[in-house]
Amino acid sequence: MKFFLDSAKLDEIDYAYRTFGIDGVTTNPKHIMLSGKPFEVAIRDIAQWVKDQKLDGIDKFPVSIEVNPHLDNADDICKEAEKYAQISENFAIKIPATEFGVEAARRLEKEGIRTNLTLVFAPAQALFAAKNGSLFVSPFIGWKEDNGEDCKQYIQDIVTIYKNYGFYGKTQIICAAIRSPKQIVDCAVAGADIVTAGLAVYKSAQHHAYTTQGLETFCNAWDNTKKA
């Protein structure tokens, strides 16, 4: 399973790449806002970072960039997506899982512009992404579980549907809005291709109380071992 970082902050992207070996980045309007930069400055900075790491190519290091969420028709979405796609060959264009979003994704994929159908909250929505050839689909986990839903079956259903019809691996499943290490594990068990999470979640996943306790025990033993 691949790990993507949900962020538009260059320091976080660089740290997560060097520490955890992340395989890509996902952004959204909120992440861009939190970066403190204008939209195009933020995405061009990420594109330059990718280039500096010699990760050119969407197969090497995908970066999802979301269109203006106010756009409410396929023509405008396609026009904006075409503009962003020219900035970097690593960009996949995030498009909402609406009727006009699906139409736009279908058109863009035929043009060779790779897409990520996002804000997916039901397996039926995920099926449209695969049927129309999107590179990625982003079913959201954290938002649903924050409202009391258990998402293990939700993700398993999407994986099963994709396997039933030969979509599995062609449209890659990015489990999005991951809030905890448990959700990472649930998605991995279900067979999702990718999880995307904030840096704090990955740091949390790498920590365990017994690991800390064990390290303290071994440090104490090391310090109290007789010296030659």
Task: Decide: 5 and 203 in contact? Cβ < 8 Å.
Answer: no
Which residue is catalytic, options 2, 79, 94, 170? 94
- Domain of 49 in residue numbering reads as 2-224
Cα–Cα distance between 13 and 161 in angstroms, integer? Answer: 32
Q: Does pTM top 0.85 for this prediction?
A: yes
pLDDT of 29 over the 90 cut? yes
Give the total number of structural domains in the chain: 1
Please provide residue 3's backbone torsions phi and psi, each rounded to the nearest 5 degrees.
-110, 125
Phi and psi dihedrals of 69, rounded to 5? Answer: -70, -10
Q: Where are the beta strands (DSSP E) in the chain?
A: 2-6, 24-26, 63-66, 91-96, 115-120, 136-139, 172-178, 194-197
Query: For residue 175, what are the β-bridge partners?
Result: 195
Paired strand residues for 93: 65, 115
pLDDT at 170 over 90: yes
Catalytic residue list contains 54: no
DSSP letter for 149, please: -
CA distance 82 to 200: 33
How sure is the predictor about 228, in pLDDT bands with cuts at 50, 70 and 90?
confident
pLDDT in tens, 181-210: 999 999 999 999 999 999 999 999 999 999
Q: What is the dihedral of CA 34, 37, 39, 42, to 10 degrees?
A: -90
- List % helix, strand, coil for the chain (3-state, nearest 5): 50, 20, 30
- pLDDT tens for 102-136 read 999 999 999 999 999 999 999 999 999 999 999 99
For residue 183, give the CATH number of its domain. 3.20.20.70
Of the candidate ranges 61-65, 143-147, 219-223, the one whose mean pLDDT is the lowest: 143-147
